[in-house]
Structure 1
């Protein structure tokens, strides 16, 4: 593999399998975004491009076949493969008809999955990494990461560098769990209890800044992290 950090979108409603696959793929040098249902996976695809999409068939809110159709509409060049317990010939044929590059049935060997992903990546022309999103819409707020500004109507807050980094991570994981340990490591470069407490302080500050819009909340997930929830 090249030294480009490839991004994988994993959509798996089985939380245990999702975490195991995420950990395995991250250990192999990939950046992995885990979504637990088809709808959140679709929203993730709309926010940024991915190099490969791994999706289950049986998922809440939007099944894998429907999501695959949307995948092709959003990014026809992005390869995707199904990882599913459904092994019927009809399901496999439907998956391939929708444009899937592969169809892997559970249980499967992780190393085999890794090989198939590498094959897909080798088929893709090497490109420069996509530019990072600099502006985020959060309900009625606009967060300009490049300027470290959070705007609401005619009010503008100038954020500190750390506040900007925390809010950026929350925005990139909007309506998804942002694990405290992962966020602390990305921001401070290491995992540490006291740095985690400092991170919580920044969360409290951001809550106050975002309180003007009742559709927005930063919710605690006990012993795991936080979710930036934005109701449509």
Structure 2
């Protein structure tokens, strides 16, 4: 794997949690281990994960309910259930909740890794099959996604990496709200106070870069996020 995928493991059993986190770490995954649902919810709010592995039987909330809480925070995060339950109704319930896989305890670590790799490979393939957008026309500006540059009527404008990533996200969702959380987790990989302060600075920079076209504005939607508005 070229990329080190980030996994959220939610398991209240200390022995199993330690074993799985260590084993997955040896297999080049970056594992964050939460021992209950409350801790897991906090971690999903402050980190970006590629996959969540949820124990069904947790002390403060069952894994089914937790999966819905996590989907409220990050609806795109795929998850796998781990459970000692073997009833068919529980398996069906897991899949009905949106799980991409369901493993019964005792867990075979090698099988878990195979399942994770297969799921992540499929997700990556699905993303790559999405239509590739090579450029965004933003009023009189063009944002070139292949060359990572912005131009105004053919004249190049130098952007920093973060400025480019932020403008690309806003352009992709033009005339639609991008929440603070969506921006921070996409551009900075972390939703926290310090990055939120930085976001305001970067928005100010982009407003100056886009200032030559009066049809464009980056609107601050109070306490919610930003929107790239393009007047037709």
Do 1:12 and 1:56's aligned partners in 2 also have CA atoms closer than 8 Å? yes
Match of 2:58 in 1: 59
Q: Distance in 2 between matches of 1:47 and 1:114?
A: 25
Q: Secondary structure at the match of 2:81?
A: strand
Match of 1:30 in 2: 29
Q: Does 1:131 align with 2:188?
A: yes
Do 1:134 and 1:145's aligned partners in 2 also have CA atoms closer than 8 Å? no
Shift of 1:63: 1.2
Mark the CA change 1:135 to 1:117 in structure 2 (over 3 Å): closer, same or farther: same
Q: Distance in 1 between matches of 2:47 and 2:192?
A: 12
Match of 2:6 in 1: 7
Shift of 1:145: 11
Shift of 1:143: 9.7
Of structures 1 and 2, the larger Rg is shown by 2
Do 2:56 and 2:81's aligned partners in 1 also have CA atoms closer than 8 Å? yes
Mark the CA change 1:44 to 1:134 in structure 2 (over 3 Å): closer, same or farther: closer
Match of 1:108 in 2: 107
Q: Give the TM-score taking structure 2 as reference length.
A: 0.55
Match of 2:146 in 1: none
Q: Distance in 2 between matches of 1:75 and 1:135?
A: 16
> 1:42-90 CA deviation, whole Å, 9 max, x = no partner?
1111112200100101101121010111222222221100111111111
Do 2:46 and 2:192's aligned partners in 1 also have CA atoms closer than 8 Å? no
Q: Distance in 2 between matches of 1:131 and 1:12?
A: 28
Stretch deviating more after TM superposition (50-59 or 37-46): 37-46
Q: Which runs of 4+ in 1 moved over 4 A?
A: 126-130, 142-146
> 1:205-230 CA deviation, whole Å, 9 max, x = no partner?
xxxxxxxxxxxxxxxxxxxxxxxxxx
Do 2:46 and 2:191's aligned partners in 1 also have CA atoms closer than 8 Å? no
Match of 1:45 in 2: 44
Q: Distance in 2 between matches of 1:82 and 1:50?
A: 16
Q: Distance in 2 between matches of 1:76 and 1:132?
A: 16
Superposed, 1:136-147 pairs within 5 Å as 136=193
Mark the CA change 1:145 to 1:35 in structure 2 (over 3 Å): closer, same or farther: farther
Superposed, 1:51-200 pairs within 5 Å as 51-125=50-124, 131-133=188-190, 135-136=192-193
Which 5+ residue runs of structure 1 have no aligned equivalent? 137-141, 147-232
Q: Secondary structure at the match of 1:124?
A: helix
Which 5+ residue runs of structure 2 have no aligned equivalent? 129-164, 166-185, 199-232
Q: Secondary structure at the match of 1:50?
A: coil
> Over the residues paired in the alignment, what is the CA RMSD in angstroms?
2.5
Q: Distance in 2 between matches of 1:15 and 1:34?
A: 10
Q: Give the TM-score taking structure 1 as reference length.
A: 0.55
